Amino acid sequence: MSQGEGIVVAVPDTGVDPHPDLINNLLIGTDIVQGGSGDGHGDHNSHGTSMAGLIAAHGRGEHFGALGIAPKAKILPIMSSLADNRGEADDLAAGIEYAARHGVDVISISSAGGSSVRLIQAINAALAANIIVVAGVGNRPEASSVGYPASHEGVIAVGGIDRAGEHAAVSVTGPDIDVVAPAVDIYSTSYGGKYSKGSGTSGATAIVAGAAALIRSKYPNLPAQEVAHRLTATAVDKGPPGRDDEYGYGVIDLVAALTADVPPLGFESVSATNTTATTAAEPAASDAGDGDATARALAALGVLAAAGGGYLIWRRRRRADDPPPRISR
């Protein structure tokens, strides 16, 4: 139905290693922070490479390698956090601004934490530019509420489910959650041509970003708001009937999202599709952990906001408090 042809997904993260399963879909990006190669292709953490692989890994031949959700989409790699997943909110903002200037279709933010004036403005500008913004809600036990920018109205806020399709214990809950996707035991690409396994809402976020790429590729004239609406309207309801704080509108359903007859916005209200500017930023402590895989997808990350001296430090914890992903040697 769709493989993400013609779509560019920005991944502001720890950089993206040119993994053999991903390299053909990897564009020249940039480094916002020091320590990389200047083009976004360095990753000393593996988190960014894992997220990119979940979105757009193309594999190597018919029966070998990793295959992402949208294997014909392109990745714009942006190194916006250091190898230890630490960085400032303004570094993430700069990465989002770079993505918007380069005309991306989707921005996948597998982190959660605090905000800054510049970050709020960058998110608002991206939404106003008809870019789909997807963000992880954060991971327990470090976070207890939905972090930023997932809490920003208009951003698709992603929670997690486990291998049984139930709410993942690692996933934060809250009224901002829009949809959920696999977040436990997610396998994906890693640095040095290796593979990794992890858990957290980071991987769920990348999976949903891949889903958004599929929809935007099949329906190129569909506004970002309607893409978000299509994801929420076709999600498989879980928990109490209707939207709830564990599952949002439900588990994403790729086939339904690509084929269902979905009435346009105005017939029903969906919180994920309003691009009203957020006027106040709350320093939300939250995680979006690293990714693990199931048959439906692959990886995840973690983030914490630390306040200090009048500014918020954006702390992206590659594993949250989860054990480090196991990387094949």
Q: What is the pLDDT of residues 167-199, one digit of tens each?
A: 999 999 999 999 999 999 999 999 999 999 999
What is the pLDDT, as a whole number, of residue 304? 22
Query: Does residue 13 have an active-site annotation?
Result: yes
* Candidate list 31, 41, 43, 47, residue with the active-site label: 47
* Candidate list 2, 13, 188, 217, residue with the active-site label: 13
Mean per-residue pLDDT, 260-272 = 68
**Cα–Cα distance between 137 and 205 in angstroms, integer?**
9
Mean per-residue pLDDT, 218-225 = 96
What is the pLDDT, as a whole number, of residue 7? 98
Nearest C-alpha neighbor of 43 from the set 322, 312, 308, 290: 290
What is the pLDDT, as a whole number, of residue 123? 98
Task: Output Rg (C-alpha) for the chain, integer angstroms.
Answer: 17
**Cα–Cα distance between 111 and 301 in angstroms, integer?**
6
User: How much of the chain is in helix, strand and coil states, percent to nearest 5?
Assistant: 25, 20, 55
Instruction: Name the band, by pLDDT with cuts 50, 70 and 90, for residue 267.
Output: low
Nearest C-alpha neighbor of 96 from the set 67, 74, 76, 122: 122
**Cα–Cα distance between 203 and 247 in angstroms, integer?**
16
* Candidate list 2, 116, 202, 217, residue with the active-site label: 202
pLDDT at position 313 over 70: no
Share of the chain above pLDDT 90, in %: 74
**Cα–Cα distance between 195 and 261 in angstroms, integer?**
38
What is the pLDDT, as a whole number, of residue 307? 28
pLDDT at position 147 over 50: yes
**Cα–Cα distance between 214 and 69 in angstroms, integer?**
8
pLDDT at position 263 over 70: yes
**Cα–Cα distance between 214 and 70 in angstroms, integer?**
6
Give just the sign of the alpha carbon dihedral 280, 286, 291, 292. negative
What is the Cα 52 distance to its own chain's centre?
9
**Cα–Cα distance between 211 and 185 in angstroms, integer?**
19
Mean per-residue pLDDT, 281-310 = 32
Query: Does residue 63 have an active-site annotation?
Result: no
What is the pLDDT, as a whole number, of residue 72? 98
CA distances from 209 to 17, 68, 83, 144 (A): 19, 11, 23, 23
Instruction: Name the band, by pLDDT with cuts 50, 70 and 90, for residue 241.
Output: very high
112, 152 contact by CB (below 8 A) = no
302, 322 contact by CB (below 8 A) = yes
pLDDT at position 271 over 80: no
Query: Does residue 17 have an active-site annotation?
Result: no
Instruction: Name the band, by pLDDT with cuts 50, 70 and 90, for residue 306.
Output: very low
pLDDT in tens, 315-325: 232 223 333 33
pLDDT in tens, 92-120: 999 999 999 999 999 999 999 889 999 99
Nearest C-alpha neighbor of 11 from the set 35, 33, 27: 27
